[in-house]
Structures are given as structure tokens and as C-alpha cells.
């Protein structure tokens, strides 16, 4: 419970720190979290937007790819679990008391197709302004840009709502509805940043330590896992539970383990 | 133990590749073109208020070549500041004017 509160605090601080620019900007730097750089308060660039535009320019995104790769090698998908504002929104919505369900495992492969097609291939073929670009449908952009623009327009009397804005807001509404029932559904199924960082979870320097060397297979960790990657199998094998593509490194499996090793115990055994 | 070592080697290799990408990206520059609106040479008395008379033709825009860093191209990409036409990149911003916060074109 303490860890959960700590995570919520870090996510809240990240949300504020990533979106509090009143003048200073570092939009040459891509931070691998789903946060639209078109938001007036954003400090950093979204790697997905930059990749899609560079694909349209037919220019290899050295700086953006280097930044994302470096973050991924250092911390894997830790940023998804602890920093991403859209992940935070999903965590909050999942707290609503409703019936919950887990998506079939195959759906998690969809995000790789989304990444390859809508971020690289289609913008490369049809140009950066193509209607097939992920940015055209991005629910984070809808939450940060389209919704405030529509609300602002309503207050100022300028009814300038485009069809694209409405479509984006509709997709945002569908995503919001889905994540209420299925934990981190967007991260698991559609997030192209998650797809970029997923393979790096297997080699990243940051990894969740197996909480116990004497697993009793109670499966508490499986039930609490945000992305249903069944960490119990890896914990029982003495491997890091975060060495899975879909793990968002939330550390909950470590926290809920009822037979946690004392500090240094695992090393001795 | 062997798997751990292999993982470490891959991580170090990828980390080095990432740093190399960042360094190369920081050093790389791009050539972009900017269409500067040409000033009319016609006397104002002939064309008051920009009136175009028969026989007068509008001058084509002057194309200026600029060299920008990759960091600048990333910033421009965040606001559709550069567009590809044919095999050339055209910047949408007049860089001779002071910068500042840019409005999202979409």
C-alpha cells in the first residue's frame, strides 16, 4: 500500500513536471512517455510524433532514437509504470469499482503492428501529414490538445471543432471506457512507445529483483500484476519478474509477495 | 550466470549504440529550404492596395537555403515546421525572425 502511494506521488509529480512549461522548453529532447508535444505546457517532444515526422521527411531520427534507446536500456519500461501521464490516467480509471476482465494475450501483439505501420511505414510512404499517422488518432493528444481546444472554443464562442478533433476525442472516450474494465489496456494493446521499449525490458539495467527465493506459488503477484504477465513463473525460477515485454516495472509483484526474503537472504541461499 | 553476462553485453552494446546515435544526431545538420516572399518591384502608384493589373506578374518566392541542426529539426517536427516536397525539405518558419513559443498548426 505504501508503494502504491509512493508510485501515485511519483506519477503526480511527473505529470506536473512534464507539463508545467510557461516559457522554457526542451523540445529537441524526446522523453519516451505518451505526452503530446503540441500541448502548450509540454517541455519535451513525444518520440512517436518525431519518428512519424522524420519518417515522412525520409530522415533517420538519430537524436530521437538515441534518446529513446538510452532510456530503454537504462530503465526498460519503468517510465511506462512510473512516469507516463497516460499510464497514470489509466491507473486512476482502473480504480473505479466495476467488473474487471483481462484481455486475451494475443492482443498485446497489436501494438507492434501499430508502431511499424502508423509510426514508420505509412508516414514514410504517404508523408508526415498522412491520415494514417498515429498522431492523427493519438488519445493522449486528444486529452492534452483536442479536448482543451474544444472547451476553449466553446467558452470563447468560436465553434471550430474539426472532424479530426471529434474522431480523436471519440477514440479517447473508447480508450477511457476500455481502461476502466481492463488494467492498462491501452499500454498492452495499442501504445507504440510501449512497443518500442518492450524488447529492452529483457536487457535493461533496471530490473525488479525476484522478491523471494522460496516461492510458494500463491499467485498473489499474478493477481496484482498491472499487465498480466504472470510474474510468478519467473519468480519461482529465480529470474527477474520484470523480464517480460509487457511488464511496466511497477514493482507490485515485489510488494505483495508474502514470503519476501530478508535483505541479503537470497544472495546467501 | 551465462545468460546474465550475455544480457549485460547486449545492454552495454545497445547503450553504446544509443550514445553514438545521440552524439551523431547532435553533430548532424540538415539542409532545408525556405520560401521567402518576394517584394514587388512594381511602383505602388500602379498597383494600389496590391491590385494586379493586366501585364503585371507576381514575382516567384525567393528560395533560401538554410542549414539547421538535428535538434532544430526535431523541434520543427513537433509542429509540422518542416515539410517534404519532392526530395527536399522545406521549412515553414522564417528563422531570421526571433523564435519563441510556436502555435500548433493542427
Can you state the angle between helices A62-75 and B70-77, rounded to 10 degrees? 90
Q: How far is residue B52's CA from residue B58's CA, in Å, rounded to a whole number?
A: 8
Residue A128 pLDDT? 85
Residue A27 pLDDT? 87
Residue from A41, A59, A67 whose CB has the most chain B CBs within 10 Å, to mutate: A59
Residue B52 pLDDT? 59
Are A27 and A35 in contact, with CB atoms under 8 Å apart? no
Contacts of A205 in chain B (CB under 8 A): 11
Contacts of A27 in chain B (CB under 8 A): 74-75, 78
| ipTM of predicted complex | 0.86
Give the predicted TM-score (pTM) of the model. Answer: 0.87
Q: Which cell numbers hold the place of B38?
A: 518576394
Neighbours of A215 (CB within 10 A): 19
Residue from A26, A31, A48, A57 whose CB has the most chain B CBs within 10 Å, to mutate: A57
SS3 B36: strand
Check CB contact under 8 Å for B89 and A57.
yes
SS3 B43: coil
Residue A88 pLDDT? 96
A50–chain B nearest CA distance, Å: 6
A204 touching chain B per CB within 8 A: yes
Q: What is the pLDDT of residues B30-40, one digit of tens each?
A: 999 888 776 65
Residue A269 pLDDT? 39
> Facing residues of B83 across strands?
B90
Q: Which cell numbers hold the place of A129?
A: 501529414
Residue B69 pLDDT? 93
Check CB contact under 8 Å for A69 and B106.
no
A207 touching chain B per CB within 8 A: no
Contacts of B10 in chain A (CB under 8 A): 203
Check CB contact under 8 Å for A49 and B77.
yes
Quote the DSSP letter at residue B87: T
**pLDDT tens track, chain A, 269 positions:** 678 899 999 999 999 999 988 777 888 999 999 999 888 888 999 999 999 999 999 999 999 999 999 999 999 999 999 999 999 999 999 999 999 988 998 999 999 999 999 999 999 999 888 899 999 999 999 999 888 888 888 787 766 678 888 899 999 999 999 999 999 999 999 999 999 999 999 999 999 999 998 899 999 999 999 888 999 999 999 999 999 999 999 999 999 999 888 776 654 43
A38 touching chain B per CB within 8 A: yes
pLDDT at residue B22 greater than cutoff 70: yes
Contacts of B74 in chain A (CB under 8 A): 27-30, 45, 50, 61, 63-64
Amino acid at each position: 500500500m505504501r508503494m502504491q502511494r509512493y508510485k501515485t506521488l511519483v506519477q503526480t509529480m511527473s505529470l506536473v513536471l512534464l507539463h508545467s512549461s510557461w516559457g522554457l522548453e526542451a523540445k529537441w529532447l524526446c522523453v519516451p512517455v505518451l505526452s503530446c508535444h503540441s500541448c502548450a505546457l509540454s517541455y519535451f517532444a513525444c518520440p512517436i510524433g518525431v519518428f512519424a515526422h522524420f519518417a515522412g521527411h525520409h530522415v533517420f531520427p538519430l537524436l530521437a532514437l538515441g534518446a529513446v534507446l538510452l532510456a530503454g536500456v537504462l530503465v526498460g519500461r519503468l517510465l511506462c509504470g512510473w512516469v507516463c501521464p497516460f499510464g497514470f490516467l489509466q491507473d486512476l480509471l482502473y480504480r473505479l469499482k466495476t467488473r474487471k476482465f483481462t484481455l486475451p494475450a494475443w492482443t498485446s501483439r497489436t501494438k507492434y503492428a501499430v508502431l511499424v505501420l502508423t509510426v514508420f511505414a505509412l508516414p514514410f510512404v504517404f508523408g508526415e501529414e498522412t491520415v494514417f499517422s498515429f498522431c492523427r488518432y493519438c488519445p493522449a493528444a486528444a486529452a492534452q490538445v483536442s479536448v482543451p481546444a474544444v472547451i476553449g472554443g466553446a467558452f470563447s464562442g468560436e465553434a471550430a471543432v474539426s472532424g479530426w478533433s471529434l474522431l480523436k476525442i471519440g477514440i479517447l472516450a473508447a480508450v477511457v471506457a476500455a481502461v476502466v474494465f481492463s488494467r492498462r489496456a491501452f499500454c498492452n494493446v495499442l501504445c507504440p512507445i510501449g512497443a518500442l521499449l518492450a524488447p529492452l525490458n529483457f536487457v535493461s539495467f533496471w530490473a525488479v529483483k525476484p522478491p523471494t527465493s522460496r516461492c510458494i506459488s500463491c499467485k498473489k503477484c499474478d493477481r496484482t500484476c498491472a499487465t498480466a504477465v504472470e510474474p510468478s513463473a519467473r519468480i519461482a525460477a529465480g529470474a527477474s519478474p520484470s523480464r517480460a515485454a509487457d511488464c511496466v516495472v511497477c514493482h507490485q509483484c515485489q510488494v505483495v509477495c508474502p514470503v519476501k526474503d530478508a535483505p541479503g537472504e537470497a544472495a546467501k541461499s | 550466470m551465462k545468460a546474465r553476462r550475455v544480457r549485460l553485453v547486449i545492454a552495454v552494446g545497445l547503450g553504446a549504440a544509443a550514445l553514438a546515435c545521440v552524439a551523431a544526431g547532435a553533430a548532424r545538420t540538415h539542409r532545408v529550404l525556405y520560401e521567402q516572399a518576394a517584394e514587388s518591384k512594381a511602383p505602388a502608384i500602379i498597383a494600389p492596395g496590391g491590385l494586379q493589373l493586366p501585364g503585371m506578374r507576381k514575382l516567384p518566392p525567393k528560395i533560401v537555403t538554410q542549414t539547421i541542426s538535428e535538434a532544430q529539426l526535431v523541434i520543427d517536427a513537433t509542429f509540422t515546421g518542416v515539410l517534404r516536397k519532392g526530395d527536399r525539405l522545406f521549412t515553414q518558419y522564417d528563422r531570421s525572425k526571433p523564435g519563441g513559443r510556436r502555435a500548433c498548426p493542427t
